[in-house]
Structure 1
Amino acid sequence: MRKKFSLFMLFVLFVFQSTEVFATSKTIPLDYQQNLTQKGGSDNVIPYKDIIGWRYKTINGIVHKRQYNYSTEQWIGSWQPM
């Protein structure tokens, strides 16, 4: 009888100990503010659209303009008088 009781207690302890492991593996989600601070700033932004602007230059007293692609750092077109 004592041997059966010991085996039963050993089995009960094993069952309770194994369920405790599953209870401690719970994940807690980050709140909104912590999630924003971990993502980083605008340094990591990759633009999908080219950034194009005008550049100006004076040639012989006449102001000329030319488009410049700031994303690829290349000129677009030729100088045009204004």
Structure 2
Amino acid sequence: MHVNCSQGHHRPPIDELLSRVESKYALVIFASKRARQINDYYADLHEGSLFDNVGPLVDSTIDDKPLSVALHEINEDKLVARPLDE
């Protein structure tokens, strides 16, 4: 099932996302860490500091949820997951 995001994108299919990581658990950890970075980026942007965090690597708006942006980045191979034991 695909659900439209605010910018007209579809959420990436779970099968495609899982092909880029070791497990569902790894996907959750990877996407949540990246979503935190995106959230911190927008907080820094609001405070006028842009040096600590990297913003979205895919087209997005401020209204897009950080987790959705992170999943799109993973699906578009903008990010590569390292094995969990590294």
The TM-score, its normalising length taken from structure 1, stands at: 0.30
The TM-score, its normalising length taken from structure 2, stands at: 0.29
Higher relative contact order (CA 8 A, sep 6+): 2
**More strand by proportion, 1 or 2?**
1
In terms of Rg, which structure is larger? Answer: 1
